[in-house]
């Protein structure tokens, strides 16, 4: 896990708490919905994580009439 964190942090600079939480989610076998304002490097984070574990990157393009519940069937509140 430490090597994955280092590799992702080399590409995704800043917001290290988000990188750590995303990595923990990945290694715990969970799914991650990255939801933020446009231009906040959501895709970069996902691509860096996928590359760090030699995984595959896919994304769902949302628009105003699609909610996270439409994709995941429940909503996770961001604190």
Give 29-38 pLDDT, tens digit per residue: 887 878 888 8
Specify the pLDDT at position 74.
67
* CA-wise closest residue to 21 among 54, 41, 44, 45: 45
66 neighbors 33 (Cβ within 8 angstroms): no
Specify the pLDDT at position 47.
92
Predicted TM-score (pTM) of this structure: 0.72
Tell me if 77 is assigned to some domain: no
Tell me if 78 is assigned to some domain: no
Specify the pLDDT at position 48.
92
Tell me if 26 is assigned to some domain: yes
Tell me if 14 is assigned to some domain: yes
* Blockwise average pLDDT, block size 10, the chain, 79 residues: 86 86 88 82 90 87 76 68
Residue 49: domain span: 2-72
């Amino acid at each position: 896990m430490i090597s994955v964190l280092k590799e992702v942090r080399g590409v995704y600079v800043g917001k290290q708490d988000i990188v750590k939480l995303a990595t923990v989610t990945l290694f715990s076998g969970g799914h991650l919905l990255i939801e933020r304002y446009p231009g906040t490097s959501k895709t970069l984070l996902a691509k860096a994580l996928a590359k760090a574990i030699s995984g595959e990157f896919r994304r769902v393009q949302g628009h105003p009439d699609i909610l996270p519940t439409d994709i995941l069937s429940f909503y996770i509140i961001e604190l």
